[in-house]
Structure 1
Amino acid sequence: MRQSLLSLAVASVLLGGCSMIPDYQRPDAPVDGAWPQGAAYTANAAAQTDVSAAALGWREFFRDPALQQLVEVALSNNRDLRIAALNVDAYRAQHRIQRSELFPSIAAAGDGTRQRLPGDLSSSGEPTTSGQYSATLGTSAWEIDFFGRLRSLDEQALQLYFASEEAQRSTQISLVASVANAYLTLQADQQLLQLTRDTLETYRKSYALTERSFNVGVADALSLSQARTSVQSAEVSLAQYSRLVAQDRNALALLLGNGVPASLPQGEVLNADLLAEVPAGLPSELLQRRPDVVQAEHQLQAANASIGAARAAFFPNISLTANAGSASSELSGLFDGGSGSWLFQPSINLPIFTAGRLKANLDYAEVQKNIQVASYEKAIQTAFQEVADGLAARTTYEEQLTAQRALVGTSEEYYRLAERRFRTGVDSYLTLLDAQRQLFSAKQQLIGDRLNQLTSEVNLYKALGGGWHEQTTLAAAPAAD
């Protein structure tokens, strides 16, 4: 009996190699084979190197020690990342559950009954007492996977597990970028807050001078009103940026999963060299280094495997119940010689009429695969668009910042001349007010442009698949003995 069970198990494993999963072919990438070219991309023509952004560790990309510390705290405490890691564990367990169905479940069972029959129910007319005891070892309703249904489901569960791992990587990359952007936004708003405070102080001094001039009859009521308007406008901006700084700290605290350190720099960080250069590489590399693209492909492969399971459902389902053990009418004789027992019960179930259910299941599996194909292609297109946008931003923001710095310098000179001419009575206060507002606006725009440039570099690093490794890993071949 044992040899029969072993032989059947070996045969089922060998025959189980039959699979009805369609041959998988990766869909062609629905994007160009090269990055866009043009005036906005001129500085990126030489950016395609053999170094991958995904291999550039976030500690090397983010050069600011305070930002490195924040990313480290977030990776340890962020709840979204923790959920993603637990989802990986959950899908791993689901795969183990599904894979276990390929093998028989062996169980030991013991049973005993004792029964008394009254005389009018007994064949002898006399009351009788009987017993039955058994101890067996075997399997019950083990599906023998002749047509690959269980193996298809196992492959589907495996691919979903792989997809969950890529989802965890994608969550970490997004978290690293989000922490960096939140930190940069906080620094920019702190810098804008300090600029507003300095500007408000200047406006208040100007208003005080104008008020004294008005009191002695030198300045008119219109100039005094305009000066008061400038002060009040700056006070509005002060309240606005105070609120934004507080909200930025709250947003950063949520990402960190912990409190924001009190020792963070206050606004001057944007003027430093914060980020390393991001290598663009080639568009084809996105298929391997973008975890969301890899995740979409694993989900496509899972949908492809489900077609095999739907196809196999059209064929007979073969299962086996078998056991061997000992049986006796008396408990004391359960293991005596001659009490051996065995059971061998194969069964086959062939679907004949299911009212179209099996065909509908197959159609549904094929539709789901087509949906995953479209999702995979959309993931590639989204990745390509995000990288192309980042490459365009790299050049244009450099040019924009250069022009904006020149505008700030010109505005400062305009303000100095306007103030001097107003104090000497050559120009009206309206000219000075225009110079003040233009300088304030130009400085605000410069801070905003610098923030946009830095966040675009962070987003490009994220779009290229960077942010997964803590530091660059240099793979070197072992030296020959």
Structure 2
Amino acid sequence: MTNRFPLLLTLAASTALAGCNLAPKYSRPEPAVPAALPQGGVYPAAASDAPDISKIGWRDFFVDDRLRQVIQLGLDNNQDLRLAAANVLQARAQYRTQRADIFPSLGVSGTGTYTNTAQFAASAGGALGNAGVQDIQNFSVAGGITSFEIDLFGRLRNLSRAAQEQYFASGEAQRAARVSLIGEIAGAWLTLASDREQLAIAERTLKAFEESLELTRAQFRIGTASELASRQAETSYESARNDVATAKTRIAQDINALQLLTGAPVPEALLPEQLGDGKATIDALPGDLPSEVLLRRPDVLQAEHQLIAQNANIGAARAAFFPRLSLTATAGAVSSAVRKLFGASTDTYTVSPTASVNIFDFGRNQGNLEYARASQQAAVATYQKTIQTAFREVSDALAQRGTIDEQMRAQSARAQAADVAARLSDARYRAGVDSFLTALDSQRSAYAAEQQLVATRLTRASNLVTLYRTLGGGLE
């Protein structure tokens, strides 16, 4: 035991020395955005008791059970989400590999040597003669540190910290992918509902224009209507026929897009028939939230972890300028018999500290340090821009949320008025009071107003989803 004391002393000293850290002290950059989310003007006023919708679970936010099932289908099968999960596993494995460099590598080895030696003896006349053969056996076992860099200046610890932060960043990237996927699936589902309703409108309008075309053609044949009226009716009919075909194409593409997002076929029973006046989400506004709420968004947290990783890389690059100390140490036993190795044997130990430093590296270390600093500055800019982008996304969603209800009221009134005008104009035309051109123009206006109303409903429904997503909702 006494002979192993230098080895233990060396280990204790190396552990005590490994305490210096050359990385800059990290402080979170101040967000370059206003302290509060926009208010007043076009922005809606938030009630003081309004819930924080970013903390509402997606199963509670989306109230249509069919949509909830489609979202769950996507969370279970989407390939991008699986890729993000694989990236997390890769980053965790890289962190474990890098972290292992901090600790010494321990090993055990055993050897056995067998030597056959001829023995010679001198005869009476002085000549040498073969006196026999002697077998020499030697056994040894040793264990200890096979490789250990004494991290005096924090190089290994900073590399480990950088790998750890990249691991955390990959986790936030996975969370961000989840939030984005939920929003994309909801948007695709609502778009499909809107296009199916647009198809129904186009088919009703096509039927009405077909009746008008047949009427004007009959009137033209008997001379009570001009060819101009017949051609105008034909133009409207063909336009509506084109709209029907286009809507069918969009619906097929919507289903394809939804199946790509979900990563699996979506049963027809889970697809919406039309948008209608039904609500797919709760009608919630965010409370009076400060802009710091954006710091909880996964993409912002991802950018911050990457910034911390670059900060640690500066420390590792600085440490490269200083000497690098390594240690190899073993302790063991030597005996002429295997059975005596752990009993009556001779104890041995070796301690081999090594120090190395580059005298001339032709600017390699300086270049690495400058690169680490530039990467850190780029990470700061990325972090700030991520926050600014988040602020802009939420502000845009709030601006639309503040006026969309007024748009809905206006479009509803317009569609209702256009429908009444179309029916009155048709009655007047059939009574011979108005021309066919007036009636046809009223039909076109009613058709356009109904289409625009559906588009506005889609905008309102999508805006609620966007507001929920941009505030970081969907993690629970």
- TM > 0.5: yes
Instruction: Indicate the residue corresponding to 1:28 in structure 2.
Output: 30
For 1:272-351, list aligned pairs within 5 A: 272-276=278-282, 277-327=284-334, 337-351=344-358
Whole-Å Cα distance in 1 between the matches of residues 322 and 129 of structure 2? 53
- Of 432, 436, 439, the match for 2:439: 432
Counterparts of residues 395-410 of structure 1 (less than 5 Å): 395-410=402-417
Alignment of 1:110-149 (within 5 A): 110-112=110-112, 133-149=139-155
Q: Is residue 189–residue 267 contact of structure 1 (8 Å, CA) maintained in 2?
A: no
User: Offset of 1:48 from its aligned partner?
Assistant: 5.9
Aligned equivalent of 2:125: none
Q: Which amino acid aligns with 2:466?
A: N
> Which residue number corresponds to residue 85 of structure 1?
85
Q: Partners in 2 of 1:91 and 1:151 — Cα distance? A: 17
Instruction: Give distance in 2, aligned partners of 1:226 and 1:288.
Output: 58
2: CA distance between counterparts of 1:50 and 1:311?
A: 50
Choose from 222, 232, 243 the match for 2:249.
Answer: 243
**Matched residue type, 2:188:** A
Total equivalences in the alignment:
463
Residue 209 of structure 1 is matched in structure 2 by 215
Distance 1:153 1:412, change over 3 A: same
Structure 1 residues 86 and 422, CA, compared in 2 at 3 Å: closer, same or farther? same
Q: What do the CA deviations read for 1:241-265 (whole angstroms, capped 9, x no partner)? A: 1000011011101111111111135
The question of whether the paired residues in 1 share the 8 Å contact of 2:331 and 2:349 is answered with yes
Q: SS of the counterpart of 1:40?
A: coil
- 1:38 CA displacement: 4.2
Q: Deviations over 1:259-316 (max 9, x none)?
A: 1111135433441122220315423333432111111111101100111111111111
1-structure distance, mates of 2:6, 2:442: 97
TM-score, length of structure 1 as denominator length: 0.90
2:333 and 2:71 map into 1 onto residues whose CA distance is 65
Aligned to 2:124: none
- Give the whole-Å Cα distance in 2 for the aligned partners of 1:191 and 1:7: 81
The 1:97–1:4 alpha-carbon spacing in structure 2 relative to 1, beyond 3 Å, is farther
Deviations 1:403-436 (A, max 9, x none): 1111111111221122112212222222122111
Could you tell me which runs of 5 or more consecutive residues in structure 1 were left unpaired when the two chains were aligned. 470-481
Q: Distance in 1 between matches of 2:50 and 2:228?
A: 65
Distance 1:326 1:6, change over 3 A: closer
Partner of 2:235: 229
Q: In structure 2, do the counterparts of structure 1 residues 459 and 263 end up closer, same or farther at CA, with 3 Å as the change threshold?
A: same
- 2:30 counterpart SS class: coil
Name the aligned partner's letter for residue 162 of structure 2: Q
**Distance in 2 (alpha carbons) for counterparts of 1:56 and 1:302:** 31
For residues 125 and 414 of structure 1, the distance between their equivalents in structure 2, rounded to whole angstroms, comes to: 134
Structure 2: how far apart are the matches of 1:270 and 1:2? 83
1:343 CA drift (Å): 1.3
Structure 2 vs 1, CA of residues 266 and 27 (structure 1 numbering), >3 Å: closer, same or farther?
closer
Which residue of the partner structure matches residue 56 of structure 1? 56
Q: Pick closer, same or farther for the CA change 1:134–1:412 going to 2, 3 Å.
A: same
**Structure 1 Cα separation of the partners of residues 49 and 301 of structure 2:** 22
Contact 2:139/2:341 (<8 A) preserved: yes
Query: Contact 1:48 / 1:279 at 8 angstroms: preserved in 2?
Result: no
Moved more, 227-236 or 212-221: 212-221
Larger Rg: 2
- Where 1:224 maps in the other structure, the secondary structure is helix
Give 3-state SS (helix, strand or coil) of 1:263's partner.
Answer: helix
Identity %: 44
CA distance in 2, matches of 1:265, 1:104: 59
Secondary structure of the structure 2 residue equivalent to 1:340: strand
> Residue 476 of structure 1 aligns with which residue?
none
Q: Which runs of 5+ in 2 are unaligned?
A: 120-127
Q: Which residue of 2 aligns with 1:472?
A: none
Cα distance in 1 for residues equivalent to 2:50 and 2:104: 50
Distance in 2, matches of 1:14 and 1:301, equals: 26
Please state how far the C-alpha of 1:211 moved relative to its aligned partner. Answer: 2.0
For the 8 Å contact 1:184–1:270, the answer to whether it is kept is: no
One-letter amino acid of the structure 2 residue matched with residue 171 of structure 1: A
1:104 positional shift = 0.9
Mean alpha-carbon deviation: is it higher for 379-388 or for 331-340? 331-340
Which residue is equivalent to 1:479? none
Matches within 5 A, 1:311-460: 311-327=318-334, 337-460=344-467
Q: Which moved more, 1:443-452 or 1:28-37?
A: 28-37
Whether 2:165 is the aligned partner of 1:159: answer yes
Q: Which residue of 2 aligns with 1:188?
A: 194
Distance in 1, Cα, partners of 2:285 & 2:129? 97
Aligned amino acid, residue 13 of structure 1: T
Once residues 248 and 21 of structure 1 are traced to their aligned partners in structure 2, the CA distance between those partners, rounded to angstroms, is 51
User: In structure 2, do the counterparts of structure 1 residues 281 and 242 end up closer, same or farther at CA, with 3 Å as the change threshold?
Assistant: same
CA deviation map 1:157-203 (0-9, x unaligned): 11111111111110110011011000000000000011111111111
* CA–CA separation in structure 2 for the residues paired with 1:116 and 1:238: 99
- The alignment's C-alpha RMSD in Å is 2.4
**Equivalent residue, structure 2, for 1:474:** none
Partner amino acid, structure 2, of 1:66: R
